[in-house]
A and B are shown apart, each in its own frame.
Chain A
Amino acid sequence: MELSLCNHSSYPRIGDDAEHQLLRRTIAQWDKGEKTDEAVRAAQDRMTELAIAEQVEAGLDLVTDGQIRWHDPISHLAAKLSGVRIDGLSRFFDTNFYFRQPVVQGKLERTEPLLLEEFKFAQERSARPVKVVFTGPYTLARHSVEKTGGAGGFDKMLEGYTAALAAEVAALAGAGAKVIQVEEPALLKYLDDFPRLEQSLTALAMSKDSAQLALVFYFGDPAPIYDHLQTLPVDLLGFDFTYNPDLVDKVASNGTARTLVLGLVDGRNTRLEDPASAARQLEKLARGADLNRAYLSPSCGLEFLPRGGARQKLKHLAVIRNTFLGSPS
Chain B
Amino acid sequence: MSRAKLQGLGIDLPLFPVTAVGSFPKLDFLLKARTEFANKRIRLGALEKAERQATEFWIRKQEELGVDVLVDGEMYRGDMVAYFAEHLEGFEEGGLVRSYGNRYYHKPVITGEVHWDEPITLEWWKYARGITSKPLKGILTGPYTIMDWSFVEFYPDRHTACLALAKEIRKEVEALIEEGARIIQIDEPAISVRPEELPVAIEAMHIVTDGLPAYFIAHICYGAFENIYPGMLDLPVDNFDLEMSNSGLDMLELFKKCQYTKDISFGVVDVHTHVVEGEQVVEQRLRKALELLPKEAIWVDPDCGLKTRTVDEAIGKMQSVVTAAKALRAVTSDK
Contact = CB atoms under 8 A, between A and B. Distances in A.
Interface string B172-202: 0000000000000000001001100000000
Contacts of A100: 100-101
Given A91-B222, A94-B193, A270 B94 contact: yes
Interface in B114-156: 148-149, 151-153
B102 A27 contact: yes
A24 B102 contact: yes
B100 A14 contact: no
Interface stretch (A77-85, A109-117, A179-187, A300-308): A300-308
B269 to A, nearest CB: 16
A315 B301 CA distance: 49
B36 to A, nearest CB: 20
B211 interface: no
Contact of B153 (A28, A94, A95, A271): A271
Contacts of A94: 193-194
B41 interface: no
Interface string B43-69: 000000000000000000000000000
A146 interface: no
A14 B104 CA distance: 9
B152 A98 contact: no
Interface centre among A71, A72, A98, A306 (most CB of B within 10 A): A306
B97 interface: yes
B272 A88 contact: yes
Interface in A91-112: 91, 93-100
Contacts of B104: 14, 24
Contacts of A97: 98-100
A309 interface: yes
A160 B180 CA distance: 60
Interface centre among A72, A91, A100, A307 (most CB of B within 10 A): A91
A71 B272 contact: no
A12 B95 CA distance: 11
B107 interface: yes
Contact of A98 (B99, B148, B153, B194): B99
A19 B31 CA distance: 26
B96 interface: yes
A269 B272 CA distance: 29
B97 A306 contact: yes
A270 B97 CA distance: 12
Contacts of B151: 269-271, 305, 309
A309 B98 contact: no
Interface in A1-38: 12-16, 24, 27-28, 31
Contact of B97 (A71, A72, A271, A305): A305
A305 B107 CA distance: 9
Nearest to A308: B95
Interface in A53-95: 71-72, 88-89, 91, 93-95
Contacts of A304: 97
A305 B109 CA distance: 11
Nearest to A93: B193
Most A-side CB within 10 Å, residue of B95, B99, B104, B222: B95
B99 A15 contact: no
Given A27-B102, A99-B100, A306-B107, A271 B193 contact: no
B153 A13 contact: no
B164 to A, nearest CB: 16
B223 interface: yes
Contacts of A13: 98
Interface string A297-326: 000000111111100000000000000000
Given A14-B104, A306-B107, A91 B97 contact: no
B79 to A, nearest CB: 11
A31 B102 CA distance: 10
Contacts of A308: 95
A28 B102 contact: yes
B152 A269 contact: yes
Nearest to A94: B193
B94 to A, nearest CB: 6
Contacts of B153: 269-271
Given A24-B104, A271-B153, A16 B96 contact: yes
| CB-CB nearest 8 A-B residue pairs | A306-B95, A98-B100, A94-B193, A271-B153, A270-B151, A27-B102, A94-B194, A96-B149
Interface of B: 94-102, 104, 107, 109, 148-149, 151-153, 190, 193-194, 222-223, 272
Given A95-B193, A96-B190, 12 more contacts: A12-B96, A24-B104, A71-B101, A89-B272, A91-B193, A94-B193, A94-B194, A100-B101, A303-B98, A306-B94, A307-B95, A307-B96
14 contacts: A16-B95, A24-B102, A91-B222, A93-B193, A94-B194, A96-B99, A96-B148, A96-B190, A97-B98, A98-B99, A98-B100, A270-B153, A305-B151, A306-B95
